[in-house]
């Protein structure tokens, strides 16, 4: 189910509602939607329910400086259309008001049947990002109003722990594209901590636990705003002997996680995803990340929701992460392939782009994909391959000539998120697909490969700063004509792309 903002303009009475006890993302989303409707000459109220009006200092300042008119209400005349933002109609944290029609815009997990007019994207870090993309569909430039762009930027920032928990490329697009007011953002950020929250941070830091072998630490903090967990994590990481840290807080409905790392061997986002795997969600970037363990999902794996037992479980998962991961530095490693099998590529139509069409040789570019950002330096013969699932990987001209045959047929992208390139020097955002051409994979010399029975992190020969993760069931591969070229192939992609020799 999906919608466009133009769907709303024909209703006579519209109310926009966010969840009770609004946060910055909820305020930004409602404000942006109201902003759009008013410019289409449609009057719409922006309201929230609950027992108490907004009292948090940063949210009051946000409302005042950006002109956000969110009304606290306890009852509401029945509107023709009620649009919930950053929440879903009927949820326990949303005061339920009657309406003739309901629409939903949200980024949380779907909790019940959705109405026809709905746009719920659970993989997005904020509702602000969804509103941003819906405005783009209406040809609205958010930077045409500094208050609008600042609100959406701050909404995303706060809902992703200061951008630490960003995983979807659309969130990264909003973060990079919005021209915000830096003075407002600085003011809001510096009004985020109350005296009570300062005490919570101090008490938590006094109870830190350490693992000297793997150089990580764990802290439990009292229930608090997720941003406070991030502040504690940032402070904890500055302790000598701590390369990676986890700060968590046990809430009535689940456990909130904040993860930090300062070493390339541990990507914070990947660690957060590991800890939350099957239990909620987690993600972020290399150094900062966050996650959430749902109470009901912990019960399904027989983890009682009691403080001591949760602490034991979290300690165990953290230790398993480090014990169960093998790290390979391809430039310094020679893999024993005596028990590997030989494979060649199937004849498949995939895509490719000549990197020099996107940026001049010598320039550094970031390839933005669903799997994350990949940094490469453009070389004259560098090709960017777009695989069978839309995955992206670089390929030298020599390897390209051996393994691929150019086709005349137009290229059709099979993935969800069209990959893009960002010129690191000037920040220019360049779409890849307009330059993509079709090619046919060929057997070539093939690879040696075997199925993984453990987790592995590989720093490839062409990128020694970011590892590629292989999980149990994926395949570890070594190029037959270059045994220093070691990499991981996702299980699904492997069986689609390769056949035994």
Question: pLDDT tens across 463-491, in order?
Answer: 777 788 889 999 999 888 877 788 888 89
What's residue 186's pLDDT? Answer: 95
List the structure tokens of 150.
Answer: 């600042």
What mean pLDDT comes out for the span 47-64? 90
Answer whether residue 1 shows pLDDT above 50. Answer: no
42 pLDDT band, cuts 50/70/90, is very high
Neighbours of 141 (CB within 10 A): 12
For residue range 293-341, list pLDDT tens digits in order: 999 999 999 999 998 999 999 999 999 999 989 998 988 888 888 899 9
497 pLDDT band, cuts 50/70/90, is confident
- CA-to-CA distance for 368 and 354, rounded, in angstroms? 16
CATH topology of domain 195-323: Diaminopimelate Epimerase; Chain A, domain 1 (3.10.310)
- CA-to-CA distance for 138 and 493, rounded, in angstroms? 36
Answer whether residue 93 shows pLDDT above 80. Answer: no
C-alpha R_g of the chain = 25
263 pLDDT band, cuts 50/70/90, is very high
pTM of full prediction above 0.75 = no
Rounded to the nearest 10 degrees, the angle between the axes of helix 24-39 and helix 146-159 is 150
Which strands make up the sheet holding 420-423, listed edge to edge?
Answer: 372-377, 364-369, 420-423, 429-431
> Can you give the residue ranges of every domain in the chain?
5-189, 195-323, 331-500
Answer whether residue 373 shows pLDDT above 80. Answer: no
What's residue 338's pLDDT? Answer: 87
- Comparing 174-178, 224-228, 474-478, the range with the smallest average pLDDT is 224-228
124 pLDDT band, cuts 50/70/90, is confident
Q: What percent of the chain has pLDDT over 70?
A: 96
CATH topology of domain 5-189: inorganic pyrophosphatase (n-terminal core) (3.90.1640)
Answer whether residue 371 shows pLDDT above 60. Answer: no
Residue with structure tokens 């933002």? 85
Q: Which residues pair with 344 in a beta bridge?
A: 499
């Amino acid at each position: 189910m999906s919608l466009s903002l133009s769907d709303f303009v024909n209703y006579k009475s519209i109310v926009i509602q966010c969840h009770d006890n609004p946060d910055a993302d909820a305020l930004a989303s409602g404000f942006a939607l109201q902003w759009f409707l008013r410019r289409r000459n449609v009057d719409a109220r922006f309201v929230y329910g609950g027992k108490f009006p907004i009292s948090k200092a940063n949210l009051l300042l946000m409302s005042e400086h950006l002109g956000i008119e969110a009304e606290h209400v306890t009852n509401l005349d029945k509107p023709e259309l009620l649009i919930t933002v950053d929440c879903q109609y009927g949820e326990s944290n949303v005061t339920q008001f009657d309406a003739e029609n309901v629409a939903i815009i949200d980024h949380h997990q779907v909790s019940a049947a959705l109405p026809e007019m709905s746009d719920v994207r659970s993989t997005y870090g904020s509702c602000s990002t969804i509103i941003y993309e819906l405005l783009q569909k209406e040809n609205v430039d958010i930077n045409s109003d500094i208050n609008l762009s600042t609100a959406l930027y701050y909404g995303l920032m706060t809902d992703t722990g200061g951008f630490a928990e960003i995983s979807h490329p659309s969130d990264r697009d909003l973060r990079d594209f919005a021209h915000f007011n830096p003075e407002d953002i600085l003011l809001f950020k510096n009004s985020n901590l109350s005296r009570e929250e300062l005490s919570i941070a101090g008490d938590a830091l006094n109870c830190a636990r350490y693992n000297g072998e793997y150089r990580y630490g764990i802290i439990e903090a009292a229930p608090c705003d997720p941003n406070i967990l991030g502040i504690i994590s940032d402070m904890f990481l500055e302790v000598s002997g701590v390369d990676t840290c986890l700060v968590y807080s046990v809430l009535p409905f689940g456990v909130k996680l904040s993860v930090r790392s300062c070493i390339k061997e541990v990507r914070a986002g990947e660690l957060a995803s590991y800890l939350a795997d099957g239990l909620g969600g987690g993600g972020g970037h290399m150094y900062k990340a966050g996650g959430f363990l749902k109470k009901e999902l912990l019960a399904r794996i027989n983890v009682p929701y009691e403080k001591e037992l949760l602490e034991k479980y979290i300690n165990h998962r953290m230790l398993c992460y480090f014990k169960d991961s093998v790290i390979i530095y391809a430039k310094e490693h020679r893999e024993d392939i005596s028990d590997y099998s030989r494979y060649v590529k199937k004849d498949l139509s995939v895509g490719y782009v000549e990197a020099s069409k996107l940026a001049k040789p010598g320039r550094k570019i970031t390839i933005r994909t669903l799997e994350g950002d990949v940094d490469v330096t453009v070389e004259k013969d560098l090709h960017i391959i777009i695989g069978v699932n839309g995955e992206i990987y670089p390929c030298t001209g020599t390897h390209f000539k051996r393994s691929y045959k150019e086709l005349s047929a137009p290229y059709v992208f099979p993935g969800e998120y069209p990959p893009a390139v960002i010129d690191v020097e000037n920040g220019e955002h360049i779409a890849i697909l307009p330059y993509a051409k079709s090619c046919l994979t060929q057997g070539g010399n093939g690879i040696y490969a075997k199925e993984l029975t453990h987790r592995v992190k590989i720093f490839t020969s062409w990128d020694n700063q970011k590892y590629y993760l292989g999980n149990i069931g994926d395949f570890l591969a070594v190029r037959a004509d270059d045994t220093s070229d070691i990499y991981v192939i996702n299980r699904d992609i492997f069986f689609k792309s390769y056949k035994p020799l």
